[in-house]
Chains A and B, each alone.
Chain A
Amino acid sequence: MLTFAIWVGFVLLSLSLLLNFWRLLVGPEVIDRILALDTMYINTIALIILYGLSAASGLYFEAALLIAMLGFVSTIAVCKYLLRGDIIE
Chain B
Amino acid sequence: MLLSALLILPLLGVLVPLWAHQYGRTRCAWATAAAPALALLILFLNLPGIADGQVLASRATWIPALGLEWHVRLDGLAWLFALLILGIGLLVILYARYYLSEKDSMARFYSYLMLFMLAMLGVVLSGNLIQLWMFWELTSISSFLLISFWWHKSEARRGARMALTITGAGGLFLLAGFLMLGQVVGSYDLDQVLAQGDLIREHAWYPAILICVLLGAFTKSAQFPFHFWLPHAMAAPTPVSAYLHSATMVKAGIFLLARMYPALAGTELWFVIVSSVGMATLLVGGYFALYKHDLKGLLAYSTVSHLGLITLLLGLDTQLAAIAAVFHIINHATFKASLFMAAGIIDHECGTRDMRYLNGLWRYMPHTAALAMVAAAAMAGVPLLNGFLSKEMFFAETLQQELLGGLSWLIPALATLAGVFSVAYSARFIHDVFFNGEPIGLDRTPHEPPRYMKIPVEILVALCLLVGILPSFTVDGLLRMASGAVLATELPTYNLSIWHGFNFPLLMSVIALIGGITLYSQRKRLFLFHSRFERFDASETFERQMQKFLAWAVSLQAKVDNQSFQRYLFALLSLALLMAATPLLDLYHLEGGRELHPLDGVSLMGFVLLAVGSVATVIWHQQRLVSLLMLSVVGLVVSVAFARFSAPDLALTQLAVEVVTVILLMLALFFLPQKSHPDSSPSRLVRDLGLAAVFGGIIGSISYALMTRPLDSISHFFLENSKSGGGGTNAVNVILVDFRGFDTLGEITVLGIAALGIYKLLLRLRLYMPASDGEGRAWAVERHPRMLATLSQSLLPLALLVSVYIFLRGHNLPGGGFIAGLVTAVAMILQYVAHGVDWLQPRLQHLKYQRMIAWGVLISTMTGMASWLFDRPFLTSWFDYLHWPLVGKFEIASAIAFDLGVYLTVVGATLLILANLGKMTTVARPQRQAEE
By a beta-carbon cutoff of 8 Å, the part of chain A in contact with chain B is 10-11, 13-14, 17-18, 21, 24-25, 27, 30, 33-34, 37, 40-41, 44, 47-48, 51, 59-60, 62-63, 65-67, 69-71, 73-74, 76-78, 80-89
Contacts and interface: CB of A to CB of B under 8 A. Distances in A.
Contacts, number: 150
Given A63-B651, A63-B655, A85 B662 contact: no
B629 interface: yes
Contact of B652 (A21, A66, A76, A84): A66
A27 B739 CA distance: 48
Interface stretch (B574-582, B601-609, B701-709): B601-609
B659 A21 contact: no
B191 interface: no
**Which among A13, A44, A84 has the highest number of chain B CB atoms within 10 Å?**
A84
A74 B608 contact: no
A66 B823 contact: yes
B769 A25 contact: no
Contacts of B773: 82, 85
Contact of B643 (A63, A80, A83): A63
Given A88-B915, A89-B837, A18 B830 contact: no
A49 to B, nearest CB: 11
B667 A37 contact: no
Contact of A10 (B602, B628, B829): B602
Given A63-B643, A63-B651, A63-B652, A47 B602 contact: yes
Given A40-B633, A87-B918, A59 B667 contact: no
Interface stretch (B284-292, B403-411, B794-802, B852-860): B794-802
A14 B795 CA distance: 30
A56 to B, nearest CB: 14
A62 to B, nearest CB: 6
26 contacts: A11-B601, A13-B602, A21-B613, A30-B625, A30-B626, A33-B629, A41-B636, A44-B636, A51-B644, A59-B814, A62-B814, A66-B652, A66-B802, A66-B823, A70-B655, A76-B788, A76-B830, A76-B834, A81-B625, A81-B669, A85-B770, A87-B670, A88-B667, A88-B837, A88-B915, A89-B838
A67 B655 contact: yes
A63 B783 CA distance: 32
Contacts of A14: 601-602, 605
A86 B927 CA distance: 12
B780 A87 contact: no
B670 A71 contact: no
A33 B630 CA distance: 9
Nearest to A88: B918
Given A62-B652, A84-B779, A89-B836, A21 B609 contact: yes
A16 to B, nearest CB: 10
Contacts of A60: 643, 648
A41 to B, nearest CB: 7
A67 to B, nearest CB: 6
Interface of B: 601-602, 605, 608-609, 612-613, 616, 625-626, 628-630, 632-633, 636, 639-640, 643-644, 648, 651-652, 655-656, 658-659, 662-663, 666-667, 669-670, 769-770, 773, 779-780, 782-784, 788, 795, 798-799, 802, 806, 813-815, 823, 826-827, 829-830, 832-834, 836-838, 914-915, 917-919, 921-922
Nearest to A13: B602
A70 B838 CA distance: 23
A34 B609 CA distance: 16
Given A69-B798, A74-B659, A83-B780, A48 B640 contact: yes
Contacts of B669: 81
A4 to B, nearest CB: 15
Nearest to B822: A70
Contacts of A44: 636, 640
A70 B833 contact: no
A28 to B, nearest CB: 11
A71 B832 CA distance: 17
Contacts of A21: 609, 612-613, 633
Nearest to B644: A51
A86 B921 contact: yes
Contact of B663 (A10, A47, A62, A73): A73
A10 B628 CA distance: 27
Given A14-B602, A37-B632, A40-B636, A69 B799 contact: yes
B833 A88 contact: yes
B826 A73 contact: yes
Contacts of B838: 89
B811 to A, nearest CB: 15
A55 to B, nearest CB: 9
B652 A81 contact: no
A63 B625 CA distance: 26
A84 B826 CA distance: 20
Contacts of B815: 62
Given A76-B833, A87-B666, 20 more contacts: A25-B616, A30-B625, A30-B626, A33-B626, A44-B636, A63-B643, A63-B651, A63-B655, A66-B655, A67-B655, A70-B655, A71-B659, A73-B833, A74-B658, A74-B659, A78-B629, A78-B662, A81-B666, A84-B783, A89-B784
B541 to A, nearest CB: 54
A61 B616 CA distance: 30
Contacts of B827: 70
Contacts of B784: 89
Contacts of B626: 27, 30, 33
Contacts of A81: 625, 666, 669-670
A76 B813 CA distance: 30
Contacts of A41: 636
B802 A69 contact: yes
Given A21-B609, A60-B648, A85-B770, A37 B633 contact: yes
A16 B639 CA distance: 18
Contacts of A83: 779-780, 782
Given A74-B662, A80-B833, A88-B832, A66 B601 contact: no
A20 B636 CA distance: 13
Contacts of A33: 626, 629
A83 B815 CA distance: 35
B629 A37 contact: yes
Nearest to A21: B609
B643 A89 contact: no
Contacts of B921: 86, 89
A63 B650 CA distance: 10
B222 to A, nearest CB: 57
* 5 cross-chain pairs, A with B, having the tightest CB-CB distances, nearest first: A88-B918, A74-B662, A83-B780, A14-B605, A89-B836
B666 A63 contact: no
Contacts of A84: 779-780, 783
A5 to B, nearest CB: 15
Contact of B783 (A24, A76, A77, A89): A89
Contact of B823 (A25, A59, A70, A87): A70
